[in-house]
Structure 1
Amino acid sequence: MYLTQGLRRAVQQTPGAIASVFQGRRRTFAELGARVARLGGLLRSLGVAPGDRVGMLSLNSDWYLEYYPGVYWAGGAVNPINTRWSPAEIAFSLEDCQTGILLVDDHHAAMVAELRGRCPGLHTVVHVGDGPAPDGMLGYEALLAQAEPVDDALRGGEDLAGVFYTGGTTGSPKGVMLPHRGLYSNAVGVVAEGAVQHGCIGLHTAPMFHLADGCFMNAMFASGGTHVIVPRFDPVSVLGTIQDEGVTEALLVPTMIQMLVDHPDIGRFDIGSLRNVLYGASPISEGLLDRAMRAIPSAGFTQLYGMTELSPMATVLSQDMHREAGRRKGRHRSAGRAAIGCEVRVVDAMGNEVARGEVGEVAVRGPGVMLGYWNKPAETAAALRDGWMFTGDGGRMDEDGYLFIVDRIKDMIVTGGENVYSVEVESAVAAHPAVASCAVIGVPNDQWGELVHAFIVRKPGASVDEAAIVAHCKERIAGYKCPRQVSFIDAMPLSGAGKILKTQLRAPFWEGRERKVA
């Protein structure tokens, strides 16, 4: 199980096929394979030894595509950097796992001086771009042109493939250590589940530093697909790229899907080539899913549920379960069933499996489970028990093994002694025709412990008030679950992966208070 296998296979079998498309530049698999072998040689000449971390701070690009296999080829481990982090957070991740070499694009070059000041261990910064390297940085293309190709290190199995940082919104980020076997088994599982088709044309618009897109990338390497890359998500750019390149598969987070399907210009583009939309990273409301399926009738929808610690996939909800047969049983509201190579169960506080239909914590076992958190033995021991990864997600499982995620265990709202799962409330709110997106949190209340509070972004030109939202919800869910407070905002705070940052929404309400509920 080594992560360069998919690229090596494509170079052998389809060397003349297009491997990547980025801003008009096209490279074949033969060209990509040659560049990766030289990048491996370049990194070794810069001192990369087996297992050493190499970072990348960049928007999406074809350089990012060759960074991953190039580091593996050299024998190193990747440390892809969240582009939305502050310099302090980035510096923490670099120093925490001793990342000595960092690749940086033009968009982030101005940050390098501060990072050098904060990171004594950062000894080499390489500029990735078509223009000349800024002062104090080495030029990637110039170095690559002179580098000698080397043989693939062929690290695999339990060898460290990367340190992927997660969190960071409430304290120090955690470095998730993933081995080759985890990422490789996930890639093969995605292909085996039919979520990525052989020879597909896949669109990278989700950030390539994030493991959701990394999983998509690895699966596309395994299936020999063409990687079409845009620097960052923009609805019009994405719609145009799908049309111009005949994109067949796209990985999108729900916030991206919402911005695409609600964009007023979507009808101007021919996106009929799109046959599969993979989504994950955060829950999707039923209302948004319905709008998306109407807006992109050519595509089926596939949900992948998981987390970074699982490489990242745990369950798959197939295209069929989004359609009528699955809808009749409510399966379209689930996260699907355990993916090939994964075991999933729902457990109580003691780790015992609960009865079907009962809510408990989701636990996962399989080759995708992480090695642990970098330099965090206590957190590792809490998360990994008897071979199982305890996710912190609350869920229930039906009689046929379909998993329904109800909420993060720690984010569950307790109001008047009743448990309220924000996902259920968000689904009800999002079904209102004037709602573009929403997020539901618990806010402190002396009488009830917590109150249900909804943040709403209206659709452009739409008008709706708090009373209408509450009345709408009361038609769908129990009264105690309905929002008691509603805030209308212009935009949701988002992480680099497109997740709504509930910690930012929650912070003003809980500042100076312990989180205690009645």
Structure 2
Amino acid sequence: MTEVKTPSRQQLAAAATGPGQDYEIVPGEFWGRPCRVFKNAPQTLRHLYDESRSDETFIVYEDERYSFEDSWVRASQIGRLLIDDYGIKKGDRVAISMRNYPEWILTFNAITSIGAIAVAMNSLWLSDEMAYGLNDSGAKVLFADQERLDRLEPVRGDVDVQVIAVRPSKALASGTANLAELLLNVDTVDMPAVDNFTAQDPATIFYTSGSTGHPKGVLSCHGNIISALLSWEFETGLHAAEFNIEAPEDTGYQLATLQGVPLFHVTGSHAVMLSCYRAQRKLVCMYKWDANFAAELIDREKIASFVGPAAMTGDLVEISKTTDFDLSSLAVVGGGGAPRAPDQVKNIGTAFGSALPNTGWGMTETNAIGTGIGGHDYLDHPDSAGRAATIVDVRIADEEGNEVSTGERGEVQIKGATLFEGYWNRPDANAEAMTGDWLQTGDVGFFNEEGYLYIVDRIKDLVIRGGENIGCAEVEAALLEHDQILEASVYGVLDERLGEEVGATIYCGGSSLSEQLLHDFLVQRIARFKVPRYLKISVDPLPRIATGKIDKKRLREIARQEA
């Protein structure tokens, strides 16, 4: 009897991406860098939206519902408004700063459909941080909700931007327009035409915190983002083929996903929101994360998938033990932004009936693409970040930039179709981050013999709290603004729910300083999620290594033991 060998992952991928296939891969180029691209991909996000128009429900927010067609029509009105009333041209930056309202999606759709660049601002930023983002990006228009309008007011004179209010609840400041009122004067129109609009055109700026200074704007083109979206589609099919997973039975209702992650993250905007278009999934938006309300929405809307950082998925696991809501519609509980503890991976596999976990490793700079793993494969490798996506190349390199052998640790580096152009207005940061076409990620990891990536450490001086990158240097600078603090060191302390919390050790000489006073001082300078939860006040100057730098590693280990 002839033995039939099961095709390998590489063989399956090669067959599915060959000539004539839906996911055919051909040589291409973005930002002057050669890469592999999907031949049949939509050219731009505008093409993606237009090709996805239908009467199926797209956005659900509280008692509001919008079909894909409704969303296109409303976005077309906003696009016309931006061009006719605000003079927005191709390449201009337009910022969005608000909760997960439908208008976040509609304005993003409009901005990226008329050739402008959508600037996704972190809605947790304080006044000075908002001013920095607006000035750094050079945004000409800002769409903001009431909470962000209130934060903008103290620095309004420091920025040159036209402001459009979304769902305001107060009288508007002079010069601020109300989006709903503006649209009353815009007829239902086609999306304005754009000349010479291609996959190479810039589409988005997402801000990410680095190890030094202010957040950096990550500039990506339409092709980068479309490549990411098709990569998720392709890898899902490849996984099913590799592990002989049958297509799910027809449930009789529209598949739905829960938007619990903020849209200003690439996880929320790309992996969740933008992935709904071609799949025709219903997107159920939450104003803010609340695990009990999430359970209610899963039951009511028959949610099939949810993607969130470990803190959120862990909350759902705990709720599943006590809730009376039916969570059995969940089929996939995805991760992103921060690694899960292996125990949580296993708990997801048992908490929701038939739901299985998945996760991946990626960055804002890679439009969330890198490695991925899911289902029983993830349950078998719960501490792995998975295997590299077909559309990118991932390697482990030593300090000289040479690729190391399997099993050896080094820096994780990546290149390919989803890789950003660079940091907006930061040639210095670009030079530091890139080695040729390879992005130096700052993560330390290794590949095992089967090609699974394991992230084991971090080179960058960052704390990743619930999926939010926090630059230690930024928090240290805020601490040192206090006239009683002489030395400060900020680091990550392990946290079961959030992955890491911010810790700090400070030296005040002979002065006394209460934690409450310091907290009150910091919340005026940095967003609340950056304020240290663990604070140690040293009676002695902080220890230093031979080079004279503060021995952060030692301070972190002491804090972790005490925590």
For 2:533 and 2:497, the matched residues in 1 are separated by 19
Q: Deviations over 1:81-131 (max 9, x none)?
A: 111111111110110110121111123232232231221x21x11111276
| SS of 1:304 mapped into structure 2 | strand
**176-185 or 191-200, which deviates more:** 191-200
For 1:499 and 1:305, the matched residues in 2 are separated by 26
| SS of 2:407 mapped into structure 1 | coil
Matched, 1:249 2:300: no
Matched, 1:363 2:363: no
Give the alignment of 1:9-88 within 5 angstroms: 9-11=51-53, 15-45=54-84, 46-88=86-128
Amino acid in structure 2 at the alignment position of 1:214: S
Q: CA deviation at 1:267?
A: 2.7
Mark the CA change 1:286 to 1:389 in structure 2 (over 3 Å): closer, same or farther: same
Matched, 1:277 2:333: yes
Kept after mapping to 1: 8 A contact 2:442/2:460: yes
Mark the CA change 1:29 to 1:507 in structure 2 (over 3 Å): closer, same or farther: farther
Question: 1:477: which partner in 2?
Answer: none
Mark the CA change 1:403 to 1:180 in structure 2 (over 3 Å): closer, same or farther: same
Matched, 1:260 2:316: yes
For 1:254 and 1:232, the matched residues in 2 are separated by 16
Q: CA deviation at 1:401?
A: 1.4
Question: 1:110: which partner in 2?
Answer: 150
- Out of 228, 236, 259, which is 1:186 matched to? 228
Q: CA deviation at 1:347?
A: 0.8
| SS of 1:96 mapped into structure 2 | helix
Matched, 1:225 2:281: yes
Amino acid in structure 2 at the alignment position of 1:171: G
| Gapped regions of structure 2 (runs ≥ 5) | 1-42, 240-246, 249-253, 466-471, 473-488, 499-521, 555-563
Matched, 1:173 2:212: no
For 1:453 and 1:6, the matched residues in 2 are separated by 40
Kept after mapping to 1: 8 A contact 2:100/2:263: yes
Amino acid in structure 2 at the alignment position of 1:322: Y
Question: 2:192: which partner in 1?
Answer: 151
Q: CA deviation at 1:262?
A: 2.1
Mark the CA change 1:64 to 1:360 in structure 2 (over 3 Å): closer, same or farther: same
For 2:528 and 2:406, the matched residues in 1 are separated by 29
Q: Deviations over 1:451-500 (max 9, x none)?
A: x99555699xxxxxxxxxxxxxxxxxxxxxxxxxxxxxxxxx9xxxx998
Mark the CA change 1:346 to 1:455 in structure 2 (over 3 Å): closer, same or farther: closer
Q: CA deviation at 1:142?
A: 1.9
After TM superposition, where is structure 1 displaced by more than 4 Å over at least 4 residues in a row?
130-133, 195-199, 452-459, 498-513
Kept after mapping to 2: 8 A contact 1:130/1:141: no
**110-119 or 79-88, which deviates more:** 110-119
- Out of 160, 164, 172, which is 1:134 matched to? 172
Kept after mapping to 2: 8 A contact 1:282/1:499: no
Mark the CA change 1:152 to 1:18 in structure 2 (over 3 Å): closer, same or farther: farther
For 1:410 and 1:71, the matched residues in 2 are separated by 33
Question: 1:294: which partner in 2?
Answer: 350
For 2:129 and 2:492, the matched residues in 1 are separated by 30
Matched, 1:201 2:239: no
Question: 2:14: which partner in 1?
Answer: none
Kept after mapping to 2: 8 A contact 1:347/1:353: yes
| Gapped regions of structure 1 (runs ≥ 5) | 413-421, 427-440, 442-449, 460-492
Kept after mapping to 2: 8 A contact 1:127/1:133: no
Mark the CA change 1:296 to 1:499 in structure 2 (over 3 Å): closer, same or farther: farther
For 1:64 and 1:454, the matched residues in 2 are separated by 33
The number of equivalent residue pairs is: 437
User: TM-score of the superposition, structure 2-length normalised?
Assistant: 0.71
Q: CA deviation at 1:224?
A: 2.0
For 2:536 and 2:46, the matched residues in 1 are separated by 43
Amino acid in structure 2 at the alignment position of 1:515: I
Kept after mapping to 2: 8 A contact 1:68/1:78: yes
Q: CA deviation at 1:54?
A: 0.8
Amino acid in structure 1 at the alignment position of 2:374: S
Kept after mapping to 2: 8 A contact 1:306/1:312: yes
For 1:458 and 1:56, the matched residues in 2 are separated by 29
Q: CA deviation at 1:61?
A: 1.3
Mark the CA change 1:115 to 1:55 in structure 2 (over 3 Å): closer, same or farther: farther
Question: 2:15: which partner in 1?
Answer: none
For 2:352 and 2:452, the matched residues in 1 are separated by 25
For 1:203 and 1:111, the matched residues in 2 are separated by 28
Counting aligned pairs with the same residue, the percent is: 27
- Out of 236, 259, 266, which is 1:211 matched to? 266
User: TM-score of the superposition, structure 1-length normalised?
Assistant: 0.77
Q: CA deviation at 1:502?
A: 9.9
| SS of 1:284 mapped into structure 2 | coil
Kept after mapping to 2: 8 A contact 1:277/1:301: yes
| SS of 2:275 mapped into structure 1 | helix
Amino acid in structure 1 at the alignment position of 2:289: F
| SS of 1:115 mapped into structure 2 | helix
Mark the CA change 1:508 to 1:180 in structure 2 (over 3 Å): closer, same or farther: farther
For 2:75 and 2:82, the matched residues in 1 are separated by 10
Question: 1:404: which partner in 2?
Answer: 454
For 1:312 and 1:454, the matched residues in 2 are separated by 25
Question: 1:340: which partner in 2?
Answer: 390
| SS of 1:232 mapped into structure 2 | coil
Mark the CA change 1:256 to 1:175 in structure 2 (over 3 Å): closer, same or farther: same
For 2:201 and 2:282, the matched residues in 1 are separated by 28
- Out of 329, 336, 349, which is 2:399 matched to? 349
| SS of 1:380 mapped into structure 2 | helix
Q: Deviations over 1:407-433 (max 9, x none)?
A: 212459xxxxxxxxx99xx9xxxxxxx
Kept after mapping to 1: 8 A contact 2:46/2:109: yes
- Out of 309, 318, 339, which is 2:374 matched to? 318
**232-241 or 401-410, which deviates more:** 401-410
Question: 1:3: which partner in 2?
Answer: 45
Matched, 1:376 2:423: no
For 1:236 and 1:131, the matched residues in 2 are separated by 26
Mark the CA change 1:266 to 1:170 in structure 2 (over 3 Å): closer, same or farther: farther
Mark the CA change 1:457 to 1:397 in structure 2 (over 3 Å): closer, same or farther: closer
